[in-house]
Amino acid sequence: MPRREVYISADIEADGPIPGPYSMLSFGMAVCGIFDGAVFTPADPAERTFYAELKPISDDHVPEALAVSGLDREKLAADGRDPAEAMNAVSLWVDEIAKSDSAAPVLVAYPLGFDWMWLYWYWMRFADSGSPFGHSRHLDLKTLYATKANVQVVRSTKRQMPAELLPDRPHTHNALDDAIEQAELFQNLVRWTGRPVG
């Protein structure tokens, strides 16, 4: 296992609360940087990215969830990528990033629980080799903030974070835009010294 880690920000858009009965409609990924155990080296998150829009896997959807992304289910049913093709393609992309950087890939998200649930389920259901992050190589940015800020998780929303941590990019609910924005949040959190305990 490489001693370095390459962090990859991920964001998804879905048409319901859980995978299986509902569908992941799009996802985006952006490389954040590399940590060698001592030094974090940030990367331009817009430089190495992956984006896919997927065919729905069921007829069910929650209109309010669909409205968040602004994606068109009928258009995706006709033009979206097949989930197996997309999940195999992004697995290959992650593997190539890891190989080129000689680093183990780690997925980062905010909040991790939602995005990871969808991505992991889709990898295990559709990808030939399963998850390129294994079952546990991931980092929750909300928890990272709560730990560094010495605050409760319920007080770890973006609205409660110091202005210097927040990315300059807008949150658009396009999965790639949001993965890039989130990568900047991760970089800011890594550099941030946090608040003292006590």
The backbone torsions φ and ψ at residue 117, rounded to the nearest 5 degrees and listed phi first, read -55, -45
- Give the number of residues written for the chain: 198
Q: Which helix (H) or strand (E) holds 92?
A: helix 83-101
Task: Name the percent of the chain in helix, strand, coil, to the closest 5.
Answer: 40, 25, 35
**CB-based burial, 111-137: b 16+ in 10 Å, e otherwise:** ebeebbbbbbebbeebbeeebbbeeee
- CB-count exposure of residue 168 (10 Å: 0-12, 13-18, 19+): exposed
Around 112, how many Cα atoms within 13 Å sit in the side-chain half-sphere? Answer: 17
Query: How far apart, in whole angstroms, are the C-alpha atoms of residue 131 and residue 125?
Result: 10
138 is catalytic: no
Query: How far apart, in whole angstroms, are the C-alpha atoms of residue 41 and residue 16?
Result: 36
Q: Which residues are catalytic?
A: 173
